[in-house]
Amino acid sequence: MRHSKFIAGLGTLCLVAAALAQDKPPVKDGAQPLPPSKLALPAGFTPPVPIMFPNPDYPPGTPAPLPEGKVGLWAKINEHGKVYLVSVVNHVNPQLDASASLALSQWEFKPATKDGKPIAVQVSFDGIFESPNPRIVMNDVIRIGAPVVKPPRATYTPDPPYTKTAMKAGIEGSVHLWLVVDEHGVPQQVWIDKSLDPGLDQNAIDTVKKWRFEAAREDGTPVAVKIDVAVNFRLH
Q: For every residue of 163-215, which 3-state class applies, written as one string?
A: CHHHHHHCCCEEEEEEEEECCCCCEEEEEEEECCCHHHHHHHHHHHCCCEEEC
Cβ(141)–Cβ(39) under 8 Å?
yes
Arithmetic mean of pLDDT over the chain: 82
The C-alpha torsion from 6 through 7 and 13 to 19, rounded to 10°, is -30
CATH, domain 149-233, list 3.50.50.60, 1.10.3720.10, 3.30.2420.10, 3.30.70.270:
3.30.2420.10
Give the contacts of 155 (CB within 8 A, at least 6 positions apart).
185, 212, 213, 214
The secondary structure of 12-51 as a DSSP string is G-EE--SS--------B-PPPPPPPPSS-PPTTEE--EEE
Task: Give the start-to-end residue ranges of the domains of the chain.
Answer: 14-144, 149-233
d(CA 73, CA 10): 21
Q: Residue 148: pLDDT band by 50, 70, 90 thresholds? A: low
Residue of 46 and 36 predicted with greater confidence: 46
Task: Name which of 143, 153, 172 is nearest 236 in CA terms.
Answer: 172
Predicted confidence at residue 33, as pLDDT, reads 41
Average pLDDT estimate for 41-53:
91
Predicted confidence at residue 159, as pLDDT, reads 92
Which region among 75-79, 140-144, 217-221 has the lowest average model confidence (pLDDT)?
217-221
| Residue 170: CB atoms within 10 Å | 7
Q: Residue 10: pLDDT band by 50, 70, 90 thresholds? A: very low
In percent, how much of the chain has pLDDT > 70? 82
Average pLDDT estimate for 208-232:
87
Predicted confidence at residue 183, as pLDDT, reads 85
d(CA 29, CA 156): 40
Q: Residue 175: pLDDT band by 50, 70, 90 thresholds? A: very high
Q: With a cut of 60, say whether residue 17 has pLDDT above it.
A: no
Q: What is the pLDDT of residues 77-120, one digit of tens each?
A: 989 999 877 888 888 888 898 889 889 989 999 999 999 999 99
